Amino acid sequence: MKKLVTILAASAMLVSLAGCAGGLDASADGPKDPGDIVVGFAQVGAESGWRTANTKDIQDSFKEAGIELKFSDAQQKQENQIKAIRSYITQGVDVIAFSPVVETGWDAVLQEAKDADIPVVLTDRAVDSKDDSLYVSFLGSDFILEGEKAGEWLVEEYKDQTEPVKIIQLEGTTGAAPAIDRAEGFANVIAADPKFEVVASQTGDFTRAGGKQVTEALLKSNPDVDVIYSHNDDMGLGAIEAIEAAGLKPGKDIKIITVDAVKDGMQALADGKINFIVECSPLLGKQLIEIVEKVVAGEEVEKRIVADETTFTQEQAIEALPDRKY
Ligand code: AHR
C-alpha cells in the first residue's frame, strides 16, 4: 500500500512539472518578444503624397521596433484588400492592421479574422459597421473636424462679402471615410450662410491626375468659380495645373483650400498658389506599434485614438517648411 502511495505521488509531481514546463514557454503564455510578433498590413495604395509618407512611416517604425511586417498595396481596390486580409488570416499573423479603401463591405472578412482570433486595428480610415467588436481599435484623424476647419477658414475669409461665393469641391475616393467626412464637415459649417454655394462636386480619387482632369472639365462649365475645396493636397496640386493652363492665377483668381499638408502642398501654400491647408498627419507608425504590443500582451487598448493636428496659412507654411518631414 505504502509503495502504491509513493508511485501515485511521484506521478502527480511529474504531471505538475509538465504543466510548469508549458507555463514557462513564452510563446504559449508569457509576453512575446517584439521579434516574435508578426503583423499583416493591408495598405490602400500609393495614390497620394500623404499615402507614400504613411507607408514609409509605418515600414520604418516596424523596422525600428524589430517587429515583422507583412505589407500589401491594394492599388485602391477593395477586393485586393480583402484578399490580403484573408491571406494574413491563413498565415496566422498576430495582428492585422489596415486602412480601408472604402467604408462599407468589411463585415464578412472582419468576422473571419475574429473567428480566427486575430485582432484587427483600423489605421487612418474607419469602416461603417454596426458591430464594433470586429476591430479592437481605430487610430486616425477626425475627418469631419478637418472639413469643419476648412469651412471655418472660408467663412472668415469671406466674412465681409455679400455676393455669392461659388465653390467647386474635389472629392476623395467615392465611399472612402475621408471623402464622406470632409464633405460633411465642410457642408455643416458653410450651411450657416446661404451665400456659399457648392456649384459642382466630383471625385478626383485623391490623385493629382484626377484633380487636374476634374478641374479642367469643371472650369469649363463654371468659369466664374471663386474657390476650390479639395479633399487632399494632391488633387489641389492637379487643380493648380488646370487653373494655370486656363490662363488663371491659382490662389488669386481662384482660392484653394486643401487637406493633408505634405511638402508639395506646403510649398504651393508658401508660393501663394494654395490659400489654406488643414493638416492630416500620416505619421501613425509609432502609435500603431504601441497598440500592437498592447494587444499582443493581452492589454486593453483605446477603441478610438485621434491624431493631434493643426492648420496652415501661408506664413505658417513658410515657417514650417524647412523642418517638414514629409
Ligand atoms: O485617408 C487619408 C487620405 O487618403 C489623405 O488625405 C489622402 O491624401 C489619402 O489618399
Q: Is the CB of 280 under 6 A from ligand 1?
A: yes
Q: DSSP class of residue 275?
A: -
Cα angle: 128, vertex 107, 99; to 5 degrees: 60
Q: Which residues of 226-262 are buried (b: 16+ CB within 10 A; e: fewer)?
A: bbbbbbbbbbbbbbbbbbeeeeeebbeebbbbbbbbb
Q: How far is the CA of 199 from the centre of ligand 1 (A)?
A: 24
Residue 29: name the closest of 16, 19, 39 by CA: 19
Ligand 1 in contact with 260 (CB < 6 A)? yes
C-alpha 217 – ligand 1 centre gap (Å): 23
**Which pLDDT belongs to residue 275?**
98
- For residues 210, 216, 221, 225, the Cα torsion angle rounded to the nearest 10 degrees is 90
Please give the distance, rounded to the nearest whole angstrom, from the Cα atom of residue 31 to the centre of ligand 1.
Answer: 35
Beta carbon of 178 within 6 Å of any ligand 1 atom: yes
Distance 21 CA to ligand 1 centre (A): 49
Contact 302, 137 (CB under 8 A): yes
Which residue in this structure is represented by grid cell 501661408? 314
48 lines ligand 1 (CB under 6 A): yes
**pLDDT at position 194, please?**
97
C-alpha to C-alpha distance for 220 and 222, rounded to whole angstroms: 6
pLDDT (tens, 9 = 90+) of the chain, 326 residues, equals 444 444 444 444 433 333 333 222 334 556 789 999 999 999 999 999 999 999 999 999 999 999 999 999 999 999 999 999 999 999 999 999 999 999 999 999 999 999 999 999 999 999 999 999 999 999 999 999 999 999 999 999 999 999 999 999 999 999 999 999 999 999 999 999 999 999 999 999 999 999 999 999 999 999 999 999 999 999 999 999 999 999 999 999 999 999 999 999 999 999 999 999 999 999 999 999 999 999 999 999 999 999 889 999 999 999 999 999 89
Contact 304, 297 (CB under 8 A): no
Q: How far is ligand 1, taken at its centre, from the CA of residue 232, in Å?
A: 6
- In the prediction, which pLDDT does 229 show? 99
pTM value is 0.90
Q: Which domains does the chain have, with CATH numbers?
A: 32-140+282-308 (3.40.50.2300), 143-280 (3.40.50.2300)
Q: Which of 156, 151, 180, 124 is nearest to 257 (CA)?
A: 151
For a substitution probing ligand 1, which of 57, 124, 127 has the most ligand atoms within 8 Å of its CB?
124
Rounded CA-CA distance 210/196 in Å is 24
Looking at the CA of residue 206, tell me the nearest atom of ligand 1. Answer: 10
pLDDT value at residue 195: 98
50 lines ligand 1 (CB under 6 A): yes
